[in-house]
Amino acid sequence: MRRLFWVGVGAGVAVLVVVKGRQLFHRFTPEGVTEELEGQVKGLADRAREAVATFTSAAAERERELTEALLGERDVAEARAIRKERKARKAWDFEAAGEDDEDALGYSFF
């Protein structure tokens, strides 16, 4: 009975060695190296894609927070239109450059 147990253990170990040996051998063949390299590149691309998605969503959230902090309840499109008009006016009308429309915009950096 003991001998049968050890024969079974030996057969199991032999199968394990053969299977793992084939996997190891395949890993170092040109096809195996190519597969591993492709897997690593795919993994890198997936991680880069995930990082870009995380950055984009975090940037959008932060932009929303900053816009809310600067404008409060004001309309963003209206504030952008006022800002655009103000920049155009300052670029061409040098006499009106002293005007301050901070009240119309709701914020000012200067």
Residue-by-residue pLDDT tens, the chain, 110 positions: 788 899 999 999 999 999 999 888 888 888 888 988 999 999 999 999 999 999 999 999 999 899 888 888 788 788 888 888 888 776 665 555 555 666 666 666 65
The reported pLDDT for the residue numbered 101 is 60
The reported pLDDT for the residue numbered 103 is 63
> Directed axis angle between helix 76-92 and helix 30-71, to 10°?
80
**pTM of structure:** 0.48
Per-domain residue ranges of the chain? 75-110
**Chain Cα centroid distance, residue 67:** 22
